[in-house]
Structure 1
Amino acid sequence: MIATVRNIWLVVLCISALPVLAQTNTTVVSIRERLLLDSGWRFAFGHPYNTDKDFGHATGYFSYLAKAGYADGPADAAFDDRAWRKLSLPHDWAAEQDFSPQGSFSHGFKQVGRHFPDKSIGWYRKAFHVTSAELGRRITVAFDGVFRNATVWINGHFLGVESSGYSSFEYDITDYINYGGNNVLAVRVDATMEEGWFYEGAGIYRHVWLVKTAPLHVAANGVVVNTTLENNAAQVQAGVTIQNDALQGKMCAVKVAVVDAAGKTVATAWKEGVEVAALQHKEIALALRVTDARLWELDNPYLYKLVTTVLAEGKETDVTTTSFGIRTIRFDAATGFFLNDKPVKLKGTNNHQDHAGVGTAIPDALVDYRIQALKDMGANAYRCSHHPPAPELLDACDRLGMLVIDETRLMGTSGQPLQDLKRMIVRDRNHPSIFCWSVGNEEWRIENGETGARMATTLQAYAKSLDSTRYTTAGISGGFASGISDVLEVMGYNYLGNGDIEAHHKRFPQQPGMGTEEGSTFATRGVYVNDTARQYMAAYDRKPRPSFYSIEEGWRFYADRPYLAGLFIWTGFDYRGEPTPFGWPSVNSYFGMMDICGFPKDDYYYLQSWWSNKPVLHLLPHWNWAGKEGQLIDVWAYSNCDEVELLVNRKSQGKKRMTRNGHLEWKVPYVPGVLEAVGYKNGKAVLWEKRITAQAPAVITLAAHKPAVVANGSDVAVVTVGVTDAQGHVVPMADNDITFALSGPGRIIGVGNGNPTSLEKEQFLDEITNLPVQQVERKNTEDKKEFVYKGQFMLPAVLDSTDITFFYKSIGSIQSVTVNGVVLAKDIALNAAGNVFLLNKSVIKPGMNEVLITGKPIAKLHDWDVVNTDAGVVQVLRYAVSWKRKLFNGAAQVIIQAAGPAGNIQLKASGKGLTPAVLTIPSL
């Protein structure tokens, strides 16, 4: 079988012994660079139909579609964006918005979409410099993902439109570059329309890259690595696509080298005399043999690198590095799934891609945090529901040891759906973590008919044409009797209550199967009584609906049937949107084994008991039931011990024997004190778990998920906030308001608490309002050598906690600028970049303010020149209030990101009547 992973381009890393040389016909170094373009962006909201609010975009006589380079508004390189907000990617503007009952049920009632046109179009602009020495290289801008309908320009030139919110895409911008000067990338993002029925965010929520290569180079995603095992050796088949963007044909040689995790080269191969015609590509194949191969396994996910070097005239023109793993995969219709010829029961979860506080703009380190949380639960598989993921998620699964079903967004066999499937497979086919491509999910209109069967057959064949080494599947929920179910290579059952799985297996005994979705229970973390008024669901694992099964029922069904390869629980994490079984004001789902922060619910520990090798003893509920003294409380234990004994205030409530894949229950009269469980193995007590009746909240606690962060501007620490009583006991129902202050080289990027009905802000940001300077009058002297301009702008009634800045755009060749009779500048020259004046509060006032500009007009060089008459905007920047969050059932979360140089980041947390806490996180 074949193991594979995404191309990871290195800036100038050459593991071979060959020197890094320059091209003979230019002064440019030819080796590939892949530069992150995440910092230094400007952002502002546009509008879907009001052109004034959309900065006059697409209103010119010649539009960007009519003539090359005629982009207008923010797409014009000369557009003045100085007053726009500064930010770094990834960015999800939906996460910044408030909630509204007019918002989309599917997307968590955020104020984005058709009902909110002022917050549904986002403009991004990024300026970057390209030196004159770069002339002769190929330059590409690559987007990992933009939600959604992204229109892209460079220096006013239209590049294209990408409607998918999940596919990666790129544009060659070589011919548009201003060499030796600045270049402006502009992106208009339209999040008005949804793609899925779950929270999807809005904006450039994944990374953007600038890729520089020589004209003769490895094509994007142009390396594919396939491996087969022969005893302890691996045969490595490397497919390399060489792209020649030069205007003449080239002869080259290609070298590939396998490098192990220690950096040692363990195999090499050459291909010489490769001829690539001008502006064409050539695919070549090379074979290598790795002796004593180390396998990619779940507990030891060993990774190799394939270093590919392209040489022309004896000089290197490109070096790329591709990570891959050596492993085998196979399904058996009778006995399930095998990794490296060892049986593996799939213990998977479905997941969307948002997290509390940050939405879909998840830093790479937070991706690692989420995958590790799933592994700690015992999960060994991850289904990308229901779209291609960020490349970094697949990298994390490769590194941490997590199998993946990679899923396309929309089922279709022509046009963009087919192209999206191709882009997903070509981008991702080198990841050893991926074992299945999913070509669809719950396509109810076509699932049970000939149309669905034809489409599924075509899609699977197409996927095999791109990658013959993996299996194909789809999630089916509309019954398992006909249509798509009949033709799938691996049957994906979505919920055993939706059809007769055993009957389907009898009809198709040679078709492997797995539960692509199962469970779908409702639970609110820390809640043990259904409360429909507050829209909370008790966290006991009970059957949620007649046609759906509990987590335990689902797992036992699949665990007891060897022909079923395993299942994927719906879901690993709660996610924004789809708040079934409720509506407003619920804004989160209730399905997760963890809440949207990643705090475990009780079902997490049921799965951990039977999915992991860890000793587990978990007791629920909490033991704070004031007012219910003497009433019977349902007490459950999740454990993989042989027996569990329950005690209340040291009085035994009985010892019970655990059945495999089960749990234990008691009914216990409530008395305050200590609820304790003791777990036994082979008759010996080995685990203890307590729930203690806590008193009033007294002390704030802070704990980071790791001891330090890397001072790289992107690493994160996830901080859990809680409270204890005066005796140090956790207060499980605490709902205190906590305020945060941060100092040092870090920033808070999001807060959350897992409450599915919380309408609190997730981010606390400075608020920017840009006010136009409205022209009241402009007069020229009779000789037209002087002019007088009068304008005005309206300021809000309250100016406290604000900065007021006048971003002036020259309307004269020489001019003087006055605001409310106070001279800001005298006789300043025409400035293409404009002038910036921070207005003193003594100069301005609430309400109407007057602007007076006098000077000499700008002379036209040509009759068709358009002379600027816009005096600019006045920016009102209102400082953000302090970050804060209410605890929910005793917990909240703060996500801290490294920013700037090394040093100590200090988080302070305070609350009324509570002893404050301080946490120091070194940034190294």
Structure 2
Amino acid sequence: MIRKDLLLLFTALTIGFTASAQSPLRRHINFDSNWKFSLGHAGNAERDFNYGLETAFSKSGSANNTCIEPRFNDNTWQDIQLPHDWAVGLPFQYSKKGDLEGKGYKPVGGGFPENSIGWYRKSFDVARADSGNRFVIQLDGVYRDSKVWVNGYYVGSNFSGYTAASYDITDVLQFDKPNVLVVRADATQNEGWFYEGAGIYRHVWLNVFNNLHIASDGGVFVHTSDKGNDATVTIETTVKNDNIAAANATVYTVITNREGKTLAQSKPQPLSLATYESKTLTQALTLTQPQRWSLENPYLYRAVAIVQSNGKTIDSVKVRFGVRTIVMDKDKGLFLNGKNIKVQGVCCHQDHAGVGVALPDYVQYYRIALLKEMGTNAYRTSHNPPTPELLDACDSLGMIVMDEARLLNSGSEYETQLRSLILRDRNHPSIFIWSIGNEEFQTQYTNIGKRIAEHQLIIQKELDPSRTSTYAANMPNVYYGVNQVIPVRGFNYNLGGIDGYHKDHPEQPVIGTEVASTVTTRGVYVKDTINGYVPDYDSTYPAWASTAEIWWKLAAVRPWFMGGFAWTGFDYRGEPTPYSWPNINSHFGIMDVCGFPKNVYYYYQSWWTDKDVLNIAPHWNWSGKEGQPILVWINTNAENVELFLNGKSLGKKDMPVNGHLRWSVNYEPGTLEAVAYKKGKKITSKVETTDVPKRIVLTPSKTTLQPDGEDAVVVNVSVVDSKGRTVPVAGDMIHFSLDGHADIIGVGNGDPSCHEPDKCLPGAWQRSLFNGHAQLIIKAGNKPGAVVLKATGNGLESATLTF
């Protein structure tokens, strides 16, 4: 069960757009609402609103007869709110055109031109009283190859589907009359081999600030170092002058605790800047006996950089930061604040059931809290820059992060992406290491790979000397190419060669950048090649990988091995293994795409936490198999376990450290119970044969929503029998209705072969249970009041929730 105290740390964003002279000096205005959307066409210009027929680039501001034109009538377009992933709403489709397997069988990409271009339009006003400021549009993530126009003027492009882009639109704005922002997203080309979505799937912002201002991209860099019991906080502030004349300024910095109390303040430092010049000032402050940011107490301070001119404050930027030390010792592993910790990590892609890659911020926190509950302490952003809110969640909840670049490439585009990643993310205390790439099998062995890595490492040290880097190499005991220059050797699998590598290269710290890769289907315990299911035991894995137990037993006893990142924390769309269609998502997750635990979850929880864990698998509903042997798998961190069937002992066994226990039990209906002892404490667990489903149960992750148009809640759905016991094999279709100012935005059930829609028509939301569970996500509206969710099913007692 998810800990509610972790989620209570998250406060939803409540920023609104008020363009007036009385607004704050610097505004970061959420631009997610009131967009219009339409699909275009990658192969037919007429169906792409004449883009390619008319000349959109021949004259500034001239894009006649296209949807770029401000006067274009978009009344027939769909009303949407960001974040938005149009691919998740497409039907599942089997096809050999394009890499649909990697896309989760969503018909998007080069083979489907009718589904691969998306157009977005938004109208907005700016008050004349705000003229004289600078205005910058910030797009945190568009998949993919985006082009941006304001009032018909082309302002820029970004081919990356993961790197944020900002565009100064000051010169083309209109005051006291409508402005039109247009974005074209082209998803015909993919960057990964996994589901990547399509569209403006992260937030869009309008940033408003003075012409003399703190630089937008990484303009404040905060890093800390130990000074005995105290800490030195170094703040590097970059100020830019976008005035048409030289300007003078004064810069100082204030550090506060999280309640806003001032703890330290620097002296004002003068600065003179020529037109369009930037300069960086460094200021150092001392914090006396600070609270250290840690996994258990992720305390965040605030550093506020302030710019004054002519005696008035004209700009300020607030940055959350943590005081902590990271040491990677070649012999003893990882140390956080002097405490030795083993990396108990997971790799994750960024999609979730029902919403694709367009996750509400709350769901980021929800997912990190689920991982924390399992005992996870580290997260790898495989294989791309994450959304900023994911890192905010890791900062707030206490999770260290390996932040990964999309590609090992030193060309100008990719150098810009790496710089953008580091500048954007380097203030996050959760990040303990950068990853410059993943499994570049054509490059990693070569001298070219070595030179690219050296180039990228120089950039990393230039922008963030406080950290180091690794590279996720799927190579055994090999020391050439990238491995010759990477500071921390990352192992993707190939753990059979890890002892030899450490012996041969004892000066290089070692971490498992990608390990395990067990494939399981939640709640399925018999191999099913028709539906593409694999048993929910830690027993099946591809040839290149291993079980959870194999890798963890190896990591746990080697002090120099820092630990690693299991593949993966959650199932994800695409890359189905070992089967393809009808599978539409992977089986690698320790949890399914909804976040419902699989059996292997309890293996990790047993050895990654000190919780009282005693889990029995499978369920005990096996009608038709009476008298036949059932494999029973026990995960626990107790010293011993005795198993009982209907009160009769089936024997007592000692639990091997970092292992599990098995029994073969001839099935008879009733109760299978485990009794264990942990440090003298008795722990019990049982599974029972249930009756048929009788009543629907709705379990929300919280019961209050902020009426801000951004907040969300996850509601898990199950059914119970007449005795209130969850029915683990139920597959009932559940129908949902919602009253009030909120919307259902997605449904799922964790079934890797379910082709029911993630997005339903208004008034027709439904989802079948898969092995007893389903899920829906509700997003808040902009008005206060009660929101009522009702769930119904054929022959079932309904359930109602009020938020």
Measured after TM superposition, the shift of residue 30 of structure 1 is 7.1
Q: Give the equivalent residue in structure 2 for 1:883.
A: 765
Is contact 1:724–1:730 with CA below 8 Å preserved after alignment? Answer: yes
- Distance in 2 between the 1:414 and 1:287 partners? 35
Q: Give the equivalent residue in structure 1 for 2:586.
A: 589
Map 1:60-75 to 2 at 5 A. 60=54, 63-72=55-64, 73-75=66-68
More strand by share: 1
Of the three residues 358, 361, 365, the one matched with 1:361 is 358
Greater displacement, 449-458 / 610-619: 449-458
**Runs of 4+ in structure 1 over 3 Å off:** 8-12, 26-30
Q: Give the equivalent residue in structure 2 for 1:259.
A: 256
Q: Give the equivalent residue in structure 2 for 1:187.
A: 183
Q: Residue 637 of structure 1 aligns to a residue in which SS?
A: strand
Of the three residues 392, 395, 403, the one matched with 1:395 is 392
- Distance in 2 between the 1:883 and 1:197 partners? 30
Distance 1:368 1:9, change over 3 A: closer
- Extract unaligned runs of 5+ from structure 1: 1-7, 13-21, 766-879
Of the three residues 77, 88, 97, the one matched with 2:70 is 77
Q: Residue 904 of structure 1 aligns to a residue in which SS?
A: coil
Give CA-to-partner distance per residue, 1:611-650, whole Å, 9 cap, x none.
Answer: 1121111110000111111111111111111111111001
- Distance in 2 between the 1:441 and 1:272 partners? 43
Give CA-to-partner distance per residue, 1:658-699, whole Å, 9 cap, x none.
Answer: 1211111111111100011112124442x2111100122221
Map 1:657-806 to 2 at 5 A. 657-685=654-682, 687-765=683-761
Q: Give the equivalent residue in structure 2 for 1:513.
A: 510
Give CA-to-partner distance per residue, 1:203-259, whole Å, 9 cap, x none.
Answer: 000000000001111111200011111122111111001011111111110110000
Q: Residue 130 of structure 1 aligns to a residue in which SS?
A: coil
Q: Does 1:109 align with 2:105?
A: yes
- Opposite residue 230 of structure 1, the aligned amino acid is K
- Distance in 2 between the 1:599 and 1:206 partners? 25
- Distance in 2 between the 1:914 and 1:462 partners? 60
- Opposite residue 914 of structure 1, the aligned amino acid is L
Is contact 1:745–1:899 with CA below 8 Å preserved after alignment? Answer: yes
Q: Give the equivalent residue in structure 2 for 1:900.
A: 782
Q: Residue 390 of structure 2 aligns to a residue in which SS?
A: helix
- Distance in 1 between the 2:446 and 2:476 partners? 11
Map 1:261-660 to 2 at 5 A. 261-481=258-478, 482-496=480-494, 500-660=497-657
Q: How many percent of aligned residue pairs carry the same amino acid?
A: 46
Q: Does 1:139 align with 2:135?
A: yes
Q: Residue 601 of structure 2 aligns to a residue in which SS?
A: helix
- Distance in 2 between the 1:671 and 1:565 partners? 45
Is contact 1:10–1:34 with CA below 8 Å preserved after alignment? Answer: no
- Distance in 2 between the 1:496 and 1:137 partners? 55
- Distance in 2 between the 1:634 and 1:290 partners? 57
Of the three residues 13, 29, 34, the one matched with 1:40 is 34
- Distance in 2 between the 1:204 and 1:546 partners? 37
Q: Residue 253 of structure 1 aligns to a residue in which SS?
A: strand
Q: Give the equivalent residue in structure 1 for 2:3.
A: none
**Larger Rg belongs to:** 1
Map 1:189-228 to 2 at 5 A. 189-220=185-216, 221-228=218-225
Map 1:835-914 to 2 at 5 A. 880-914=762-796
- Distance in 1 between the 2:740 and 2:22 partners? 40
- Opposite residue 583 of structure 2, the aligned amino acid is S
- Opposite residue 488 of structure 1, the aligned amino acid is I
- Distance in 1 between the 2:566 and 2:197 partners? 23
Is contact 1:9–1:321 with CA below 8 Å preserved after alignment? Answer: no
- Distance in 2 between the 1:10 and 1:488 partners? 42
Give CA-to-partner distance per residue, 1:80-119, whole Å, 9 cap, x none.
Answer: 1111111100000011110111261101000211222111
- Opposite residue 66 of structure 1, the aligned amino acid is S
Of the three residues 96, 99, 103, the one matched with 2:92 is 99
Q: Does 1:178 align with 2:171?
A: no
Q: Does 1:919 align with 2:801?
A: yes
Measured after TM superposition, the shift of residue 27 of structure 1 is 6.7
Measured after TM superposition, the shift of residue 543 of structure 1 is 4.4
Give CA-to-partner distance per residue, 1:388-417, whole Å, 9 cap, x none.
Answer: 000000011000000000001011112111
- Distance in 1 between the 2:426 and 2:143 partners? 23
Distance 1:81 1:10, change over 3 A: closer
TM-score under structure 2 length normalisation: 0.96
- Distance in 2 between the 1:92 and 1:201 partners? 6
- Distance in 2 between the 1:71 and 1:421 partners? 33
- Distance in 1 between the 2:489 and 2:13 partners? 36
Distance 1:165 1:694, change over 3 A: same
- Distance in 2 between the 1:124 and 1:899 partners? 21
Give CA-to-partner distance per residue, 1:146-183, whole Å, 9 cap, x none.
Answer: 00000000000001110000001100000000012110
Distance 1:682 1:312, change over 3 A: closer
- Distance in 2 between the 1:484 and 1:34 partners? 40
Greater displacement, 742-751 / 473-482: 473-482
Measured after TM superposition, the shift of residue 9 of structure 1 is 12
Q: Does 1:88 align with 2:84?
A: no
- Distance in 2 between the 1:451 and 1:273 partners? 45
Distance 1:28 1:888, change over 3 A: closer
Is contact 1:382–1:568 with CA below 8 Å preserved after alignment? Answer: yes
Q: CA RMSD in A?
A: 1.7
- Opposite residue 673 of structure 1, the aligned amino acid is G
Distance 1:395 1:30, change over 3 A: closer
- Distance in 1 between the 2:717 and 2:526 partners? 24
Distance 1:58 1:135, change over 3 A: farther
- Distance in 2 between the 1:618 and 1:460 partners? 45
- Extract unaligned runs of 5+ from structure 2: 1-11
Measured after TM superposition, the shift of residue 751 of structure 1 is 0.2
- Distance in 2 between the 1:262 and 1:700 partners? 43
- Opposite residue 722 of structure 2, the aligned amino acid is A
Q: Does 1:245 align with 2:238?
A: no
Measured after TM superposition, the shift of residue 533 of structure 1 is 1.4
Is contact 1:9–1:34 with CA below 8 Å preserved after alignment? Answer: no
- Opposite residue 331 of structure 1, the aligned amino acid is M
- Opposite residue 489 of structure 1, the aligned amino acid is P
Is contact 2:735–2:765 with CA below 8 Å preserved after alignment? Answer: yes
Measured after TM superposition, the shift of residue 10 of structure 1 is 11
- Distance in 1 between the 2:728 and 2:378 partners? 31
TM-score under structure 1 length normalisation: 0.83
- Distance in 1 between the 2:494 and 2:259 partners? 46
- Distance in 2 between the 1:89 and 1:684 partners? 50
Measured after TM superposition, the shift of residue 724 of structure 1 is 1.4
* Number of positions where the alignment pairs a residue of Structure 1 with one of Structure 2: 784
Is contact 1:623–1:674 with CA below 8 Å preserved after alignment? Answer: yes
- Distance in 2 between the 1:483 and 1:659 partners? 40
Give CA-to-partner distance per residue, 1:583-635, whole Å, 9 cap, x none.
Answer: 11110100000000000101111100111121111110000111111111111
Is contact 2:85–2:199 with CA below 8 Å preserved after alignment? Answer: yes
